[in-house]
A and B are shown apart, each in its own frame.
Chain A
Amino acid sequence: MRTTSKRARAAIAVLLALFLSLGVAACGSDDDDTTGNDEGGGGGAIVSNPDNGKVTLTVGSKNFTEQIVLGEVYAQALEAAGYKVKKDLNLGSETVALKNVKAGQISGYPEYVSTALTSFFEAEPEEVPADATEAYEEAKADFEKEDLTAFPPTPFASANAVGTLKKTAEERDLKTVSDLEGQSEEMTLYGSPECRQRIDCLAGLEELYGLKFKKFVPVDIGLRYTVLDKGQADLSILFTTDPQLSAQADKYVILEDDKEVFPAGNVIWVTTPEVVEEAGPDYEKTIVQVQEGLTLKVMQELGARVELEKEPAAKVAAEYLESAGYTG
């Protein structure tokens, strides 16, 4: 009886500890930091056209920070142009997003031109043109065969990259991905679950660079810096637009992709000719106008405010539009 009750008490203690720690987890930070955003490109204000009020557009995006921010920017810009706008900013992957465009569930969504070429149109990563306009023309022609259309690209480009702690890079003398040769066998690489088999990710590192890693561990995209910080990952797949790379340049570095496994892609708006016809000329005009200010630096800053300072994406997007002079 004694021992039972002692054990039971220990168990209760464990349980309570677990319970309390969960309480802490549930209370995510919701601070209201208001750092102003003075960045942003030029371009005049978006003019609201009353004719557009008859048209409802549904803006889609994939479900990670950069895409959600883009989705908000486009949605609010279209709203400013007078359209009725609905949002669906939580689509799982590009295949899901594209299917939704084709089915008319969403009017359009932002896609990386490199992803469009490799995922939808079977281009090898090294075949993706480095020039944004050239890549856009190629993707646009491919989309047209599918009865889809795409608007011109954003100024910024985004790519995956092999990242590591600056400390590790210095110790091992790593500047490019090729420098990993002879060392990768003793290093662990962390990346999104789909990275494992993608030719523009782990499969490409193995086949095009001939690298073998000690272990590849799949993790949620949101944990890509946590695993480096925790010392679990020697290498982690990062995005070149990550705010951490500029805000903490003394901590993280990315290795130069010297054999071009990770194609860089500017963002293009993917939509259908039917929507273009229904929505009229303001549709493309607004999208192209509002993305003019989206340079790499601005994207990193918008991302930092959402990801590091936990501000809502809608608010960050609204302040971008205002400070860049698109809305007033």
Chain B
Amino acid sequence: MSALPQPLFASIQGAFEFIITPQSSNVTGGRTVGGIDQVIELTLTQLEVTLLALALSLLVALPVGLYLGHRGTGELLAIGIGNAGRAIPELALIAFMAAAIGVGLLNVTIALAVLGIPPILTNAFVGIRQVDRSSVDAARGIGMSEFEILRKVELPLAVPTLMTGVRTATINIVATATIAPLAGVLTLGDFIINENVYGENGVLAGAILVALLALTLELALAGLQRLLTSRGLKLKPA
């Protein structure tokens, strides 16, 4: 009957032990929790649901943002939705959709995509809008079609701004994917939500892992941005 065997306060060392080796828990009746196998499993699900939600955000926001940016209209829509989208409570959204489509991967993907859409939409719109009008006029002058102008002139010049939106969206999504265990998808959030099961060290371990995953994604996207940015834009102005 030694009470409260779990440490009262988390330690970095304890969190790393939790990540590597399964630990005992006082509510599982002897089953161990945590450890590298579970960490890998939950990390992969977190990554999966993040990428799915990001893909859905891009699918919805990119065409709209680019089109409106090219036309130069709909600023109210692009910026308005962008700002309104930030105010949506995710858990309420998940619960609302649970009544319509149930819980699970689809529910979580849509709920998280709602977080990804605003920054991508706004940045795509702004990115295209800020392209130097003389470049666009020159392209039109040499006989490019509107689609060619968008694809060959505006889009390449908008890449840095656009990618900033994608990176923001990714961070929003990967951080919020921690609530997915409340809707049937076991992500790293399981460690954070279930303090009773995993203990303080588990909570800290979950937070550390999510932060590492976010940093990794951020670095990967920064690399992608370098690859996508045309050489002309990388030159320092004389």
Are A193 and B190 closer than 8 Å at their CB atoms? yes
Write out the residue numbers on chain B whose beta carbons fall within 8 Å of the beta carbon of A26. Answer: 88-89, 92
Interface residues on A, range: 35 or more
Known: A220-B182, A232-B103. A120 touches B3 (CB 8 A): yes
Write out the residue numbers on chain A whose beta carbons fall within 8 Å of the beta carbon of B195. Answer: 92-93, 95-96
Are A94 and B181 closer than 8 Å at their CB atoms? no
Identify B29's interface contact among A11, A24, A207, CB under 8 A. Answer: A207
Write out the residue numbers on chain A whose beta carbons fall within 8 Å of the beta carbon of B131. Answer: none
Q: Point out residues on A near B: beta carbons under 8 Å.
A: 1, 4-5, 7-8, 11-12, 14-15, 18-19, 21-22, 24-26, 28, 92-96, 99, 118-122, 124, 142, 145-146, 190, 193-194, 196-200, 203-204, 207, 217-220, 222-223, 226-227, 229-230, 232
Q: B161 at interface (Cβ–Cβ under 8 A)?
A: no
Complexed CA–CA distance, A22 and B86 (Å): 12
Nearest chain B residue, comparing its CB with the CB of A14: B60
Known: A15-B117, A118-B27, A207-B29. A227 touches B64 (CB 8 A): no
Q: A4 to chain B: closest CB distance in Å? A: 6
Identify A146's interface contact among B3, B94, B98, B146, CB under 8 A. Answer: B3
Query: What DSSP secondary structure best describes chain B's contact surface?
Result: helix
Interface residues on B, range: 35 or more
Not counting A15-B61, A95-B195, a sample of 16 additional A-B residue pairs whose C-beta atoms are within 8 angstroms of each other reads A11-B60, A11-B63, A25-B93, A118-B27, A119-B27, A120-B4, A122-B5, A142-B3, A146-B3, A193-B194, A194-B196, A196-B197, A199-B28, A218-B182, A227-B98, A232-B102
Mind listing 5 A-B residue pairs with CB under 8 Å?
A: A18-B114, A26-B88, A190-B184, A198-B197, A218-B181
Write out the residue numbers on chain A whose beta carbons fall within 8 Å of the beta carbon of B181. Answer: 193, 218
Q: B26 at interface (Cβ–Cβ under 8 A)?
A: yes
Identify A25's interface contact among B8, B92, B104, CB under 8 A. Answer: B92
Nearest chain B residue, comparing its CB with the CB of A146: B3
Q: B186 at interface (Cβ–Cβ under 8 A)?
A: yes
Identify A197's interface contact among B25, B114, B147, CB under 8 A. Answer: B25
Q: B95 at interface (Cβ–Cβ under 8 A)?
A: yes
Nearest chain A residue, comparing its CB with the CB of B62: A11
Residues 182 to 201 of chain B near chain A (Cβ within 8 Å): 182-184, 186, 190, 193-197, 199
Write out the residue numbers on chain B whose beta carbons fall within 8 Å of the beta carbon of A99. Answer: 8
Identify A11's interface contact among B31, B64, B92, CB under 8 A. Answer: B64
Are A197 and B33 closer than 8 Å at their CB atoms? yes
Complexed CA–CA distance, A219 and B64 (Å): 34
Are B95 and A22 closer than 8 Å at their CB atoms? no
Identify B64's interface contact among A15, A207, A226, CB under 8 A. Answer: A15
Known: A145-B3, A207-B29. A12 touches B183 (CB 8 A): no
Are A199 and B29 closer than 8 Å at their CB atoms? yes
Write out the residue numbers on chain A whose beta carbons fall within 8 Å of the beta carbon of B196. Answer: 93-95, 119, 194, 198
